[in-house]
Amino acid sequence: MFDHEELQEKLGYRFRDPQLLKLALTHPSVAHEQGASTQTNQRLEFLGDAVLQLVLTRELYCKYPAYEEGPLTKARAKLVNRRTLAEYGRKVGIGKALIVSRGEELHGGRERPSALADAFEALLGAVFLDGGFDAASTVILQQFASAFGTLSVIPMLENPKGELQELLQARSTEAPSYRVVSTSGPDHDRVFECTVHHGGVELARGRGKSKKTAESAAAMAALARLREEQKSETPPEAAPDAAS
């Protein structure tokens, strides 16, 4: 029986239909060797890619409510690329389980990054067909859990205004506001100065060649100030009792 116990354990899912697992691990080179009628994992890869994108998009949408489309798209791209998908495939042990042609075997096809990435997506597509969307979502979020941990530091999303808003939301529902307080320089080389306010208080100022850049600079300055204040407000650890 085609089961691959170790792979299923590392994937975090046990297939009800072992043939779906087998298909997900069947490299396209097999069709070239055995004939065009042989089924390979390419269709499952197509399906798995769509499922993966949807699950990660929904998770980012829910996890980071302060961010707009651009930053979320960048975060998703950081989570999913051919190199990272190959690493996930390697982690669950796809290489030794992959079904390849003799020629592909001789040329190291089992460990080829493209083959590992494609088979990993095919596995996700197979999980979706075998167990449904919830099962696929559980597998994906388990596999990507550590990667989501790296997204807790939001500057990689290049959206200081969004990060500032998220930080301030912990204090009140009021959003920060921005004001242009001055412009200088000739028309072809303007410099804008903006302030950012919250609760009627000016948090910081920033300068830039455009209003948007100046607002981002102000937001970054406000973030630095607020984080410094948070550090100073953290109570020191209690000293040990000298009498003990």
Give the active site residues.
Answer: 49, 121
Helix, strand and coil in the chain, % to nearest 5: 60, 10, 25
Beta-carbon count within 10 A of 238 CB: 6
Separation of CA 64 from chain center:
11
- Residue in 139, 188, 5, 162 with CA at minimum distance from that of residue 69: 162
Give the contacts of 71 (CB within 8 A, at least 6 positions apart).
64, 154, 157, 158, 159, 162
Query: In terms of C-beta density within 10 A (0-12 exposed, 13-18 middle, 19 or more buried), how is residue 234 classed?
Result: exposed
Q: How far apart are CA 75 and CA 71, in angstroms?
A: 6
Rounded CA-CA distance 59/235 in Å is 34
For 15, residues 6+ apart whose C-beta sits below 8 A from its C-beta are 3, 8, 21, 126, 127, 130
How is residue 188 annotated by DSSP? G
- Using DSSP's 3-state secondary structure scheme, residue 193 falls into strand
* Closest to 8 in 3D by CA, of 27, 21, 23: 21
